[in-house]
Amino acid sequence: MQTTADYTCAFCGESNTTFVDFSSGNYQSYIEDCQVCCRPNILYLEIDENTLEVTINSDYQE
């Protein structure tokens, strides 16, 4: 199952949308470039196994 979720860029603060692959587990991390400023963000995803609610925190990729 795949869906989308929003996160805030750690660099410019703009909202972005990313695809979430539920088959990759409840805790995921990967790098994705901001759709606005093109700088790389480390995304930390947590998926609630009961509600399938997705929480994303972003950090700087140096």
Place of tokens 């994303």: 56
CA distance 13 to 35: 11
1-48 residue pLDDT tens: 668 999 999 999 999 999 999 999 999 999 999 999 999 999 999 999
CA distance 58 to 6: 11
Long-range contacts of 54-61 (CB under 8 A, 24+ apart): 54/3, 54/5, 54/20, 56/5, 56/6, 56/7, 56/18, 57/7, 58/7, 58/8, 58/9, 58/10, 59/10, 60/10, 60/11, 61/31
pTM: 0.89
pLDDT of residue 1: 62
pLDDT of residue 15: 98
Domain boundaries, the chain: 2-60
